[in-house]
Structure 1
Amino acid sequence: MATMPEAITIYEVGARDGLQNEKTVVPVEVKATFIRRLIDAGLETVELTSFVPPSWIPQLADATELMELLDDVGKGPKRPVLVPNERGLDNAIAAGVGAVAVFGSATETFARKNLNRSVDESLAMFAPVVSRAQEAGLWVRGYVSMCFGDPWEGPVPIAQVVDVCRKLMDLGCDQLSLGDTIGVATPGHVTALLAALDDKGIGSDRIGVHFHDTYGQALSNTVTALSHGIRVVDASTGGLGGCPYAKSATGNLATEDLVWMCRGLGIETGVDLEKLVETSVWMAEQLRRPSPSRVVKALAG
């Protein structure tokens, strides 16, 4: 396909977004092994964990211990961690991270449920986080959730999403991730949002896309985004993940499904699919349930 890129970057979120909603706490040693296997399979960009208060997401309460176990591979701009505020940033810097991400919302309801703040209050909280991270030489990503729909507010106006994206990027983030948190996006909606962002000076070279597969549209939406210049795609090995604050948020786009599609399009990902499938099967055994990824099911037999 003439509009497709020669290569893309897969931003792997399985270790953080994929595991954060697990009810049974996954041992930190298992998480460390999972991450090492992801890296060994060729996934260069891997989001490791989140430095949030244990009461927020108990599954990620072991962030500092995890970073210690990953001391040799857990640093640098391709190993980001999520930080909600300055305290989280302090802990992340103390752990020696090289990249951080903040997690905002395009809607007021989710901003309240996720951070107990309005959208503007959340942005004000992120401002010193981003500036201090930059001063420390860290790469910074800004997530915007609920970009296409919100379980409480319904469809989200494109102009509203663009406004929040613009404000977040104005803080100084290096990259923006557009989140289809509940998986309601369609290719036409993706096209319209990307065009609107481009009109406001946020080009596709600064954007990643983060699709959930609730309605089976994640791959279709990804192809659409790639045809519009996007070169960074978020995905979760095994299709793990959801959102602890949005119960209708089903699993992320499975990394294996994305890699399989890219193979067919002649797009390089740098990923060893066989190793990745083996990792997903192993992780499914740790979680005691099968992987929802169709490619994993097909190749693992």
Structure 2
Amino acid sequence: MSEMNNGTVSIVEVGARDGLQNEPEVFSTETKVELLTRMMDAGARRLEVASFVHPKLVPQMADAEAVVASLPDRKDVSYIGLVLNKRGLLRALATREGDRRGVDEAGCVAVATDSFGQRNQGQSIEDSIRETSEMLRLAKAEGLVPQVTVSVAFGCPFEGEVPQARVLEIIQRLAENEPAEIALADTIGAAVPQQVSDLFGPAREKLPEGIRLRAHFHNTRNTGIANAWAAYQAGAEVLDSSVGGLGGCPFAPRATGNIATEDLLYLLERSDVSTGLSLEDTIATAQWFEGVRGKPSASMLAKAGPFPARG
């Protein structure tokens, strides 16, 4: 275990953004806000609340501004808005105009392959690094916390294996812009724990201490929870997860959900790792959303419950 973790890890709840973006049914603004509020009540303190992308590409996110405007003004919570380009960043910044709270963090996205970059945001790797670097600097100058995710860091649906050396070079170049955090994303759920350890260890060593290292895993091939544990042991200070295991990427064929927040909490809680989230309240939120969605979640804990049984 990395000394930097010290028996604790932070969780970023991504259910309302990454979790919902691939759902065929477009949920109401009120439903999204309730989902976010329930997870705040469960203890989530950083949440992806929306993505500022073209509504024709991701219809689920067409109400991004309305969602942000409806969120409670809680000082103990940080709201993350995903932005793929400068136009999206300007929309995120506009949520803070006047006396409005708006989003707190700009979640930028860089890509580790040209093919995925062209399909996801119309950019090559070099285009992505250049524009993301500009966005990180602008976000910081305008008072947002700048952070960035490197997508398809462990495998690309179009190019296959992604060289580790390339990913390490990308994060080193992005680190020059002094983001608060860099995340490595297994966008298509291709990674296994050894691969995660082999990448996160060197990544932690190459990043300055002031930049947090975050991990984002999908459970497409049923390795997501094991990968999260490997990332934590290799020095990741922050883990992404989605209540109920919701999720998928509209631009990655056959990509399924994120790791379920409640499944991750069970692993961490039983391993004496503190997160600040309530397992029972998270399970209850997953079960509530099953009713809203009208079908079961991918979560194991929503089905089996915790062990030992409580109450």
Q: TM-score, normalised by structure 2?
A: 0.91
Tell whether 2:117 aligns with 1:149. Answer: no
Tell me the residue number matched to 1:189: 195
SS in 1 for 2:49: coil
SS in 1 for 2:33: helix
Residue type at the aligned position of 1:47: E
Following superposition of structure 1 onto structure 2, how do residues 37-56 of structure 1 map, counting pairs within 5 Å?
A: 37-56=38-57
Residue type at the aligned position of 1:50: S
Tell me the residue number matched to 1:95: 95
* Structure 1, 89-98 or 27-36: larger mean CA deviation: 89-98
Following superposition of structure 1 onto structure 2, how do residues 6-45 of structure 1 map, counting pairs within 5 Å?
A: 6-45=7-46
In structure 1, C-alpha distance between the alignment counterparts of 2:172 and 2:120, rounded to whole Å = 20
Tell whether 2:110 aligns with 1:107. Answer: no
Tell me the residue number matched to 2:270: 264
Residue type at the aligned position of 1:27: S
Tell me the residue number matched to 2:136: 130
Tell me the residue number matched to 1:66: 67
Tell whether 2:220 aligns with 1:214. Answer: yes
C-alpha change, 1:205 and 1:103, in structure 2 (3 Å) is closer
Residue type at the aligned position of 1:85: N
Tell me the residue number matched to 1:165: 171
- Give the CA deviation at 1:205: 6.0
Tell me the residue number matched to 1:223: 229
- Give the CA deviation at 1:216: 1.5
In structure 1, C-alpha distance between the alignment counterparts of 2:23 and 2:14, rounded to whole Å = 14
SS in 2 for 1:80: strand
SS in 2 for 1:24: coil
In structure 1, C-alpha distance between the alignment counterparts of 2:40 and 2:292, rounded to whole Å = 18
Tell me the residue number matched to 1:80: 80
Tell me the residue number matched to 1:290: 296
Residue type at the aligned position of 1:157: P
C-alpha change, 1:181 and 1:202, in structure 2 (3 Å) is farther
Tell me the residue number matched to 2:124: 118
C-alpha change, 1:154 and 1:203, in structure 2 (3 Å) is farther
- Give the CA deviation at 1:171: 2.6
Residue type at the aligned position of 1:148: F
* Structure 1, 207-216 or 195-204: larger mean CA deviation: 195-204
In structure 2, C-alpha distance between the alignment counterparts of 1:263 and 1:217, rounded to whole Å = 19
Q: Is the 8 A contact 1:77 1:98 kept in 2?
A: no
Tell me the residue number matched to 1:57: 58
Residue type at the aligned position of 1:268: S
Give CA deviations for 1:5-54 in whole Å, capped at 9, x if unaligned. 42110111111000011111011110001000010010111111011111
**Amino-acid identity (%):** 37
In structure 1, C-alpha distance between the alignment counterparts of 2:6 and 2:304, rounded to whole Å = 26
C-alpha change, 1:256 and 1:204, in structure 2 (3 Å) is farther
SS in 2 for 1:49: strand
**Aligned positions, number:** 300
The runs of 4+ residues in structure 1 deviating greater than 4 Å are 1-4, 202-205
Q: Is the 8 A contact 2:186 2:216 kept in 1?
A: yes
* Structure 1, 81-90 or 101-110: larger mean CA deviation: 81-90
Residue type at the aligned position of 2:123: R
- Give the CA deviation at 1:76: 7.9
SS in 2 for 1:10: strand
Q: Is the 8 A contact 1:238 1:293 kept in 2?
A: yes
Tell me the residue number matched to 1:237: 243
In structure 2, C-alpha distance between the alignment counterparts of 1:134 and 1:173, rounded to whole Å = 8
Stretches of structure 1 lacking an aligned partner (at least 5 in a row): none
Give CA deviations for 1:140-167 in whole Å, capped at 9, x if unaligned. 1101111111111111110111122222
Aligned-residue RMSD, C-alpha = 2.1
C-alpha change, 1:2 and 1:54, in structure 2 (3 Å) is closer
C-alpha change, 1:115 and 1:27, in structure 2 (3 Å) is same
In structure 1, C-alpha distance between the alignment counterparts of 2:60 and 2:234, rounded to whole Å = 36
